[in-house]
Amino acid sequence: MAIADTISVLDEAIQATLGIRRQRIASESFDQFTGDLTSTYDESANTPTYGIVVKPWKQLSLYGNYIEGLAEGAIAPDGTVNAGQVFPPYISMQYEAGAKLDFGSLGLTVAAFEITEPSAFIDAATNTFVVDGVQENRGLEFNAFGELTKRVRILGGVTLLEALLVNTGTGNDGNKARGTPEVQVSLGSEWDIPGIRGLTLVGRVLYSSSFQYYDPANTITVPEWTRVDLGARYETVMFDRDTIFRATVENVAEKSYWSSAAGSTLTLGAPRRFLLSGTAKF
């Protein structure tokens, strides 16, 4: 259950939001072979939300917020000594401050954030899934969106992240959290083809830096990778219905890569894929 209210003054030039949520998470875990109850919890928390937006000009918004949230505890994956063990829920905390410039056809945003949450991973020495210490994520996000010309549109962003482990009992204090690349880039664009009404070419480039570690001890680094997706969209009218056809090729260069080291395992990047779809409005 949640309740929130926004208070505005000076013709909405200043807006303050206050809110609170009552959250409850209940969980029961059973042995997959015997069916016996192995662990249970029933936890509740009141989590607040605070936010403020200041608009010194119509096109510029400055904001800051603080949010807490009760999240489900991690579960030890199959293959570990304590597979199936459910850890208790936790409260994550997030601070964020930023600015947004919106000129209608073009917009820019920048934000700084800090998120605190427990650090969970597989201890390689014992093959046991553990929750050890806290993961502090601090970063900057830059995004741009809008129309460069009447026929060209862009949407892209860059995230700079520093995710460190603190208060650990395994000597990993100050190490980087697993599965957290320092730099991530996403850039997409669309181009409406002149002379062919309804046809649009689309493209996207994704990049993840190499400073992404597989283990909390920071001994294994996941290589950097770049992926390119290309496609087209055709909008027309068929049988008096607005219809859209899409064709996409993901991972055009058939790049082999590990897309993530988050969680408990490495995630293999998707291979080259050809996607076709069509939608019609009724």
Same-domain pairing of 169 and 43: no
Listed residues 69, 92, 115: the one ending a domain: 92
What is the rounded average pLDDT of the residues 164-193?
89
Which of the pair, 206 or 78, is modelled with greater confidence?
Answer: 206
**Residue 59: its pLDDT value, please?**
92
Residue 133 domain-assigned (yes or no): yes
What total number of domains does the chain contain?
Answer: 2
Tell me, what CATH number does 140's domain have? 2.40.170.20
Residue 97 domain-assigned (yes or no): no
In the predicted model, is pLDDT for residue 36 greater than 90? no
In the predicted model, is pLDDT for residue 96 greater than 90? yes
pLDDT in tens, 152-176: 999 999 999 999 988 887 778 888 8
**Residue 121: its pLDDT value, please?**
77
Same-domain pairing of 224 and 250: yes
In the predicted model, is pLDDT for residue 3 greater than 80? yes
Same-domain pairing of 85 and 166: no
Same-domain pairing of 36 and 113: no
Confidence of residue 264 (pLDDT cuts 50, 70, 90): low
How high is the mean pLDDT of the chain? Answer: 90
Same-domain pairing of 69 and 129: no
In the predicted model, is pLDDT for residue 235 greater than 90? yes
- Which residue is it, tokens 């070419």? 201
State how far the Cα of 118 lies from the Cα of 176, in Å rounded to an integer.
13
Residue 40 domain-assigned (yes or no): yes
Same-domain pairing of 161 and 221: yes
Residue 188 domain-assigned (yes or no): yes
In the predicted model, is pLDDT for residue 12 greater than 80? yes
Same-domain pairing of 63 and 116: no
Listed residues 92, 126, 144: the one ending a domain: 92
Same-domain pairing of 274 and 151: yes
Listed residues 92, 119, 144: the one ending a domain: 92
Same-domain pairing of 187 and 125: yes
- 37-46, 103-112, 130-139, 255-264: least confidently modelled range: 255-264
**Could you tell me the residue range of the domain that residue 116 belongs to?**
103-282
Same-domain pairing of 68 and 111: no
